[in-house]
């Protein structure tokens, strides 16, 4: 494998970089951890917005 010409190595590196970019861009968008983080963030903001609403009405 070390005896391959320079053009073959360039093509290999280009395809390798494209594969890594595709892998990580897909996995970041489709990760369950990211999905759970988005749900908890929206839930926390909902709770903080509406829990203070009830306390102001009682004062």
pLDDT at 1 (0 to 100): 74
pLDDT at 32 (0 to 100): 76
Chain-centroid distance of CA 22 in Å reads 12
pTM of the model: 0.50
Q: Is residue 59 packed enough to be buried (19+ CB in 10 Å), middle (13-18) or exposed (0-12)?
A: exposed
How many domains, in total, are found in the chain? 1
Range of the domain at 37: 5-57
CB 34 within 8 A of CB 28: yes
- Quote the CA–CA distance of 35 and 42 in Å, as a whole number: 11
What mean pLDDT is predicted for residues 22-44?
73
- Quote the CA–CA distance of 59 and 57 in Å, as a whole number: 6
């Amino acid at each position: 494998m070390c005896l391959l010409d320079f053009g073959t190595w360039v093509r290999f590196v280009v395809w390798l970089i494209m594969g890594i970019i595709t892998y990580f861009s897909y996995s970041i968008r489709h990760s369950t951890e990211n999905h759970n983080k988005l749900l908890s963030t929206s839930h926390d903001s909902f709770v903080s917005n509406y829990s203070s609403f009830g306390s102001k009405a009682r004062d």
